[in-house]
Amino acid sequence: MLFNSLAFLLLYLPIVVAVFFWLGRLNRQYAAAWLAAASLFFYGYWDHRYLLLLGTSIAFNYWMGYCIGHAPQPIRKTWLGLAIGSDLALLAYYKYADFFIVSVNGVAGTNWPLLNIALPIGISFFTFTQIAFLVDTYQGKVNEYRFVHYGLFVTYFPHLIAGPVLHHKEMMPQFADPRNYRASALNISVGLSIFVVGLAKKVLIADNIAPIANAVFQPDAQPPLVEAWIGVMAYTMQLYFDFSGYSDMAIGLSRMFGVQLPLNFHSPYKAENISEFWRRWHMTLSRFLRDYLYIPLGGNRSGPYARYRNLLLTMLLGGLWHGAGWTYVVWGGLHGLYLVIHQVWQGLMTRLGWKTGPAYAVGARLLTFAAVAFAWIFFRAWDFATAADIIGGMFGSHGVSLPSVARLFDGAFRAVGWSPRYDGIQWVDASGLFVLVLAMVLAWFAPNTQELFCRFEPCLEPMTGRDTRSRLYWTPTATWAITIALLFCACLLSLHRPSEFLYFQF
């Protein structure tokens, strides 16, 4: 079931919320069980065949967590290794078995048949969430083992399909808070507002620039120079507003139940270096990779060269986590290389005592964005041939003709003595270009969702953790309600053909 579908908006969500708060007044355990069951229905709506897989994974990891938490120290580590190994083996089978076969066939010249395994939706996210639970249990951070609450923690529908990646300690105290089983006007108004903003990001922005990216990234599209750049920018913005929109919608939905999910985005395209980008982009995944991969590999404890190796390995595996393909590995490798270059540059600046100023900050932001956008080519391309085709187009190997929409400015072009060709890809139209420019302006200059909604109540700044309770806050007003209602109506009018979120494929 899609967040951006009429079935979800008009049937599923109102029923789930109403029954949850009604049961919450009678018995909190019944309400938690209802929410867990509704979340399983939400997952099974896609394909009921994988409900058994999800249920088995939950039961196995719950039992492993109990064993880890109650076993003596020497045995706890054995239980932890067994549990994580089993989770990763399951993920590897469903996500990487065919990728492994294709890779072996290509290298060894064999002809092993593919297994054609359908990827269960959300398997990467619920696997990583449960691995985090197992490690937290091993480290003594888990003190509560009620099965219903654990099942709700894993299946909780706002985050089940595409994150954020959660820690048990972040969620379970909130499910145990009796106040969250009573409807709150503030929670519902703020939650709905955040949800509608996320819905607008997806429906009104990401989906409207998707045709440009899809056309340019088609195999053998041979985009001319201008359209190659437009297509790369379109995908760069589409991915951000698609996934950022999903994360906002997840946070908003959860807030309606009084549960606060961790932030996942904080204006990543405003980052001034690649390390800052990863502190702003998919923040819960970055945290997971840091805590459960980079630090166990040794982090920066063994000198700079070991740090560079660990950064590269972490990002290579992070790229492979996103998808079973060598293009994802290259994308991860590029980001690992970017991080190494940043560390070297930062050390050089420190040794030489170089100072930075406003001009440096602008240049650093543009360079970081350009590096990220270039890496997205491999993230999106079907194969290396498609990526090379687009990169070649960006350097003019397919000519410099303009999209047909540029005919509107033909008079101005001829006035300066230029008679361009207009035989580019036809999907680059005026409306798509307008939305693309709007998306770029919003991503670079507008306040993000949490900056908007920090005005509703006290909160912590995402990047610094600094308490902002001294600021003056205001509650939702009639003008705000009308604005959100009109935005929601605009989204509903655009839901004639709901599209899946991009991160569902990961």
Q: Are 390 and 222 in contact (CB under 8 A)?
A: no
DSSP single-letter state for residue 350:
H
Q: What is the largest CA-CA distance in the chain?
A: 82
d(CA 203, CA 487): 11
**Options 149, 168, 266, 322, the catalytic residue:** 322
Can the peptide bond before residue 120 be classed as cis, meaning omega within 30 degrees of 0?
A: no
CA distances from 153 to 23, 166, 354, 470 (A): 18, 9, 48, 33
**CB neighbours of residue 57 within 10 Å:** 21
Active site residue 335: no
Question: Strand, coil or helix: what is 460?
Answer: strand
The three-point CA angle 114-120-123 to 5° equals: 115
**CB neighbours of residue 121 within 10 Å:** 20
Can the peptide bond before residue 164 be classed as cis, meaning omega within 30 degrees of 0?
A: yes
DSSP single-letter state for residue 302:
T
Q: Tokens for 67, please give them.
A: 């064993």
Q: Are 132 and 292 in contact (CB under 8 A)?
A: yes
3-state helix, strand, coil in the chain (%, to 5): 70, 0, 30
DSSP single-letter state for residue 84:
H
Tell me the CB-side half-sphere exposure of residue 476, using CA atoms within 13 A: 18
CA distances from 40 to 33, 195, 266, 324 (A): 11, 21, 30, 26
Q: Tokens for 92, please give them.
A: 């590897």
Tell me the CB-side half-sphere exposure of residue 113, using CA atoms within 13 A: 2
d(CA 309, CA 336): 9
Q: Are 431 and 212 in contact (CB under 8 A)?
A: no
d(CA 390, CA 377): 8
Q: Are 275 and 339 in contact (CB under 8 A)?
A: yes
What one-letter code names the amino acid at 166? Answer: L
Q: Are 3 and 253 in contact (CB under 8 A)?
A: yes
List residues with catalytic annotation.
322
